[in-house]
Chains A and B, each alone.
Chain A
Amino acid sequence: MEKFTTHTGVGVPLRRSNVDTDQIIPAVYLKRITRTGFEDALFAAWRGDADFILNKDEYKNGSVLVAGPDFGTGSSREHAVWALKDYGFKVVIASRFADIFRGNSGKQGLLAAVVSQENIELLWKLLDAEPGKEITVSLEDRTVTCGELTVPFEIDDYVRWRLMEGLDDIGLTLQHEEDITAFEATRAGWRPTTLPAKHLPSVEIEAARPVA
C-alpha cells in the first residue's frame, strides 16, 4: 500500500445524503473477479445523466469527493472503494460514513475524512463558486484546505498511522501468530467445525422451469 501524507486534487461536490453502495457501484458490476478496472462502474446509474456532476468537464479529473452525510451505507461491497479509487479518488469527505465503508476505505488506502456538515456546506459553496477548484487534504495535520478555508477533519488514530506508513493488515496480524495459536489451543472441543462435513442425507434437487 502506498504511503499517504497529503493530497491535492480537484474537489467534487456531491450534494446528496445517504449515498449507498448500490449507488456507488450497482450490483451488476460485482460479478467481476479482478481487483481493478472498476472506474467505469462508479456511480453507473447517474453517469448516464448529462447533468451528473462527474459528467461535467471541470470535475472529470476529480480526486476529492465532498459528499453529504451517511456516505457508503448499505451493502458491504468493497467494490465501492475500488471503484472510487480506480476512478481516481483519493479522499472522500463527509460528515458521517457507514462503518463498513469507512473500514474498507482505510484498508485500501482511500482516506475517509469526517468533516462537520457545517464545514461541508462551506466547501460545497466554494466548489460551486469555482468549479474545478482544488482541495488539499493533509493527513499529517488532519486538515482540509480549499482556497482560504482550512477546516479540521477526524480520523481514527490507528487508521491514520497505517495510512501514513502504508502498512498492510495481514502482515501486521501475522506478527502475532503465536498468540493466535495459543488462543486456538484453549477453544472448547464442542465448538463446530465445517470439516469433516456433516449434513442430512443428500437428496436430488429438481430444477424449477420457467412457467409458460
Chain B
Amino acid sequence: MGTTLAEKLWDNHLVRKGQDGAPDLIYIDLHMCHEVTSPQAFEGLRLAGRQVRRPDLTIATEDHNTPTLDIDLPIADETSRKQVNKLRENAAEFGIRIHSLGDADQGIVHVVGPQLGLTMPGMTVVCGDSHTSTHGAFGSLAFGIGTSEVEHVLATQTLPLKPFKTMAINVNGTLPKGSTAKDIILAIIAKIGTGGGQGYVLEYRGDAIRALSMEARMTICNMSIEAGARAGIIAPDDTTFEYVKGRPHAPEGEDWDQAVDFWRTLVTDDDAVFDAEVDLDANDLEPFITWGTNPGQGLPLSASVPNPEDFADEAEREAAANALEYMGLTPGTPFREIPVDTVFLGSCTNGRIEDLRAAAAILEGRTKAEGVRLLVVPGSARVRLQAEAEGLDKIFKDFGAEWRNAGCSMCLGMNPDQLRPQERSASTSNRNFEGRQGKGGRTHLVSPLVAAATAVRGTLSSPDDLVDAPAALV
C-alpha cells in the first residue's frame, strides 16, 4: 500500500522511532519565533543553562503586538514594548536572526517565511503560533506549537510527536467568479465543524486546488487550524516551484535541480489510503461569511441570519443562540442588510500582495460608504513596498482607506488596532471569537473581495452587488 504525502514527510524527518508508546522524535527544519510565545521559552533555556541548538534554522520577527502607525517611535504600550524588547534581547543573546519593526523583512511570521524563500516543499516548519499551518501550502509539514514545545525545539531542534491521522479534502470543479480560496476554506469549516479536523493533517486535493495560486493555497492551509486540524498540506507542483524560485534563500544551480527532483516525489501515492475523506464541489461555491463566534458558524452571503431553533443538535442550538446574542443579530435578517463599522483587510490569511491587488481592483474609482472605516494592513513590509511600487497604496488612500505598516494588526486585540465594544467588522482574518478583535467587538470573517465590496456599500456585500460591477473579477 502506498503512503500519503504527510506520512512521507513524517518518515523523512524521523530521527528516532518511539518505543513502548513513546512518541517519535521528529526533526524540525525551520523554527520561527515571535514576541508573544517565545519569552518564556528563552527563560526556560536560561534557567536550565541550555543553548539554542541550531540558530541557523531559527528566525524571529515582530508582529503580534507591534503598532501599524508611528513605527519609528517607541511602542507606546508598555507591556508590548517590553515583550518586543525581550525578543530583541533574546535574539542577541542566543545568536538568532531577527527582523524588527522598520526592517524591510519584518512582518507576520507566516508571510515572512515564504517570502524569504525559507519555506519550501518537503520541510517541517514550526512556530509558536497556530497559523503555522499556512506553510503547508508548499507541501511541508507545518504546525503550531505551544511555548514548552518552542523551548524544546530551541534546545533540541526536534519534537517528540505521535503520528497524525490523515484526511483528504477533495475540492473539484471550477471556482465561480467572485468566489475565492477564503470561501473554499470557510465552506469546508462550516461543513466539517471546528472540531472536524481534530488529530488530522488535512491534505487539500483536486483540480480546484491545483488551479490556485500560492497565495490562495496559503489562505486555505492557514485556516486548517480553524477546523481543529493539526496541519493542512497541498502537494507541491510547478506553481509552488515557480513561487520559490529566485527567492533569497531558494536553492540555486545544481542544488535547485536536486531539490526539484526531490520535491516532485512529494505526492500522495495513488494507492494510499486516507483515514478520512471529505468532498466539496467548487462549482457550487458562493462568497461565504461567518455570522457567529466561531469560524464554523458560516453561511453563504446570500443567506440570512439563521434561527437557533432550526438547529437539531442541542449544543449547536445553544451555541447559535449565544453567538447571535453576542453578535447582536436577529434571525431572518438577510446578511446583505447587515451594516458594518469597520472593514479590515490584512492578516496572515489575506494580507499578501494578491489579496491587496484583488481588493484594490474593486475599490479603484469607487468611494467608501459613509461612516465606514477601512483598514488596509499589508502582511509584511515587503508586501507594503510591492503594493506601493504597483500604486495600490494610492488606490486605497484615494478610496478613503487607512494604509498601515505591516503586522497582525486588527486580527487580534493585542495592539492598538482594535474594535470598540459592539463595533461590527468585516474582516479578512481567520478568527471571529468573542473579543478577538477587541473587547465586545463583532467579527464577520470574509474574503478580500467581500471586504472590498462591503467597504463600498457599507453592508455585507459581494462584488456582484456593486451596480457597476467590474467585468473581470479575480
Q: Which A residues contact B (CB, under 8 angstroms)? A: 17-18, 20, 22-23, 26-28, 30-35, 45, 68-70, 73-79, 81, 96, 98-100, 103-104, 107-108, 156-158, 161, 169-170, 172-174, 176-177, 179-180, 183-184, 187-195, 197-203, 205, 207-211
Tell me whether A18 and B294 are in contact (CB under 8 A).
Answer: yes
Tell me whether B147 and A78 are in contact (CB under 8 A).
Answer: yes
B400: nearest chain-A partner, CB-CB: A211
Q: With an 8 A cutoff between CB atoms, is B372 at the interface?
A: no
A203: nearest chain-B partner, CB-CB: B104
A205 and B384 contact, Cβ closer than 8 Å, known pairs A28-B413, A169-B160, A179-B15: yes
Chain B 294-335 near chain A by CB (<8 Å), digits 1 or 0 = 100000000000000000000100110000000000000000
- B103 cross-chain contacts in A, Cβ below 8 A: 202, 205
Tell me whether A26 and B37 are in contact (CB under 8 A).
Answer: no
Of B130, B255, B384, B414, which is within 8 A of A74 by CB? B130
A172: nearest chain-B partner, CB-CB: B160
Tell me whether B21 and A157 are in contact (CB under 8 A).
Answer: yes
- A69 cross-chain contacts in B, Cβ below 8 A: 195, 315
Tell me whether B104 and A199 are in contact (CB under 8 A).
Answer: yes
Tell me whether B48 and A45 are in contact (CB under 8 A).
Answer: no
Additional A-B contacts beyond A173-B152, A195-B97 (11; CB < 8 A) = A31-B414, A45-B434, A78-B146, A108-B148, A156-B162, A161-B21, A173-B160, A180-B53, A190-B258, A194-B249, A202-B105
- B56 cross-chain contacts in A, Cβ below 8 A: 193-195
Tell me whether A33 and B40 are in contact (CB under 8 A).
Answer: yes
- A174 cross-chain contacts in B, Cβ below 8 A: 155-156
Complex CA–CA separation, A172 to B105 (angstroms) = 36
A193: nearest chain-B partner, CB-CB: B56
22 pairs from A and B in contact (CB 8 Å cutoff): A17-B318, A18-B319, A30-B414, A31-B82, A68-B315, A70-B194, A76-B144, A76-B145, A76-B146, A77-B146, A78-B147, A96-B198, A99-B230, A104-B146, A104-B147, A158-B21, A170-B151, A170-B152, A173-B155, A173-B158, A177-B156, A203-B385
Chain B 373-417 near chain A by CB (<8 Å), digits 1 or 0 = 000000001101100000000000000001111000000111000
- B348 CB, min distance to chain A CBs, angstroms: 13
Q: Which B residues contact A (CB, under 8 angstroms)? A: 15-16, 18, 21-23, 25, 27, 29-30, 36-37, 39-40, 43-44, 48, 50, 53, 55-59, 64-65, 68-73, 77, 79-80, 82-83, 86, 97, 102-106, 116-118, 120, 123, 128-130, 144-149, 151-152, 155-158, 160, 162, 194-195, 198-199, 228, 230, 248-251, 255-256, 258-259, 262, 294, 315, 318-319, 381-382, 384-385, 402-405, 412-414, 431, 433-436, 439
A179 and B105 contact, Cβ closer than 8 Å, known pairs A27-B414, A74-B431: no
Tell me whether A33 and B83 are in contact (CB under 8 A).
Answer: yes
Tell me whether B413 and A31 are in contact (CB under 8 A).
Answer: no
A192 and B118 contact, Cβ closer than 8 Å, known pairs A96-B198, A202-B103: yes
- A190 cross-chain contacts in B, Cβ below 8 A: 251, 255-256, 258-259
B249: nearest chain-A partner, CB-CB: A192
Complex CA–CA separation, A13 to B194 (angstroms) = 22
- A34 cross-chain contacts in B, Cβ below 8 A: 40, 43
A170 and B104 contact, Cβ closer than 8 Å, known pairs A197-B97, A198-B249, A208-B68: no
B256: nearest chain-A partner, CB-CB: A190
Tell me whether B104 and A205 are in contact (CB under 8 A).
Answer: yes
Of B27, B256, B381, which is within 8 A of A180 by CB? B27
Of B37, B120, B382, which is within 8 A of A76 by CB? B37
- B102 cross-chain contacts in A, Cβ below 8 A: 205, 207
- B53 cross-chain contacts in A, Cβ below 8 A: 180
Tell me whether B37 and A158 are in contact (CB under 8 A).
Answer: no
Complex CA–CA separation, A38 to B64 (angstroms) = 19
Complex CA–CA separation, A139 to B435 (angstroms) = 36
- B57 cross-chain contacts in A, Cβ below 8 A: 193-194
- B121 CB, min distance to chain A CBs, angstroms: 11
- A203 CB, min distance to chain B CBs, angstroms: 5
- A189 cross-chain contacts in B, Cβ below 8 A: 255
- A76 CB, min distance to chain B CBs, angstroms: 4
Complex CA–CA separation, A175 to B83 (angstroms) = 33
- A208 CB, min distance to chain B CBs, angstroms: 5
